[in-house]
Amino acid sequence: MPEKAPAISRERLAALLNDDLAREYQAIIAYTVYSQVLKGAQYMSIADQLQLHAAEELKHALTIARQIDYLGAMPTATPKPVKLTDSAEEMLRADLANEVDTIRHYRTRVRQCEALGEFAIAEHIREILLDEQDHLIDLATALGEDAPAVGDAQP
């Protein structure tokens, strides 16, 4: 019986990773801005955390850009839009929603990489997922909530 062809091509994976890269840029910008403009004693701890998150997101962006290049495509230079608001809670909720979205996409991306036989890329994404889940927990905690359940994204 012939082996089943992968459900995704290298070109499609590179395009999806470029979408992920745009999301990482969005996170870098949001965390940088939000960490500096959050006001109020109750937000000082999370503001410090957001500075760390920004640095981690830059690391993620570099990792994803390298994988896109490895797949033979050009990494994007365009971020997804960043929500700007004066409300500290809205900032944190926007970040939380973005982390949920990012985790969903990366979970799907791991499976897509494995289907294509790109196990090293899948491992890089798993490492990124560890940070993203920590970010999700930090944001939910700052909002006084449990971390939301994260389902999977559609390819």
Q: What is the 3-state secondary structure (H, E, C) of the chain?
A: CCCCCCCCCHHHHHHHHHHHHHHHHHHHHHHHHHHHHCCCHHHHHHHHHHHHHHHHHHHHHHHHHHHHHHCCCCCCCCCCCCCCCCCHHHHHHHHHHHHHHHHHHHHHHHHHHHHHCCHHHHHHHHHHHHHHHHHHHHHHHHCCCCCCCCCCCCC
Of all residues in the chain, the percent with pLDDT exceeding 70 is 94
Q: For residues 11 and 8, give the distance between their C-alpha atoms in angstroms, rounded to a whole number.
A: 8
In CATH, which of 3.40.50.1220, 3.40.1180.10, 1.20.1260.10, 2.60.40.10 is domain 10-142?
1.20.1260.10
Side-chain-side CA neighbours of 59 within 13 Å: the count stands at 13
- With a cut of 50, which residues of the chain have pLDDT below it? 1-2, 155
User: Looking at residue 154, what is its pLDDT?
Assistant: 53
Neighbours of 107 (CB within 10 A): 18
